[in-house]
Amino acid sequence: MKNERPFLLVNINNTNTSFALANSRRILRIVKVPTASVHKIPFGRVDISGIVLSSVVPTVAKRVRRLLPMPPLVVSASIDLGVGVRYPNKKQIGADRLANAVGVTKLYGAPAIVVDFGTAVTFDIVNARSEYVGGVIAPGLASVTDYLYQRTALLPHITLAEPKSVIGKSTVDAMRVGAVVGYRGLVKEILHALKRQRGMRKAVVVATGGYGDLMAKKIPEIEHVNPLLTLEGLRFIYLRNCR
């Protein structure tokens, strides 16, 4: 185990693509690249034992696969994930959402709800039998503020941060209240509705994604924040299929 060769995790999302080296015990190193700018694979000439690929951007996935030194294990509902999938059209499930389901089940147990604060905000649900059963998709937090900036004459482009007060004393502060505080309300209401579903009352709730830390601060329903959850899911999928 000491001289174990690492393997490569690739997670292609709409905004960023993550490349990570991992082994059977942990994730070793991560490099994030804007998805539109992926033209090479990082880490140089590292001797890897294999690759697992998750993508929600088919055109970029094709380009990345041409850059890889070997064929990857491509994540989909048709491979052995280690969790069940109860979903009418399995091909519609994003590979990152499947990875989240695997990661949360392995690390936190089931039933579980993953809130992924990415380009979109997704809620992924795993039932008590460790089966992915569906979820919720809402517009991403940054998408809301970007829309206001793009479609109004006087509202600026802002960086998201915790507002100083619930009453904004400037345009930027007011926009942050609307985005951050308002979005927390959306997340809480969806979580409350999900937990009212049969068998989900005691579901563990885990946040991940770029804004997971910011949003989870004042949402007591979120019990854990794990920014590496998707990559951890990919690591478990690789170990199940390629070792």
What residues are annotated to the active site? 96
Task: Characterize 109-131 residue by residue with b for buried, 16 or more Cβ atoms within 10 angstroms of its Cβ, and e for exposed.
Answer: ebbbbbbbbbbbbbbbbbbeebb
**Residue 92, C-beta contacts closer than 8 angstroms, at least 6 positions apart:** none
How far from the centroid of its chain's Cα atoms is residue 236's Cα?
A: 15
Query: What span, in angstroms and rounded, lies between the C-alpha atoms of 151 and 162?
Result: 24
Pairing of strands 27-34, 131-139: unpaired
Look at the alpha carbons of 98, 100, 104, 107 in this order and tell me if their dihedral is positive or negative.
positive
Structure tokens at 153: 């004459």
The DSSP annotation for 95-152 comes to HHHHHHHHHHHHHH-SSEEEEEESSEEEEEEE-TTSEEEEEEEEE-HHHHHHHHHHH-
Per the CB < 8 A criterion, the answer to whether 214 and 199 are in contact is no
124, 240 contact by CB (below 8 A): no
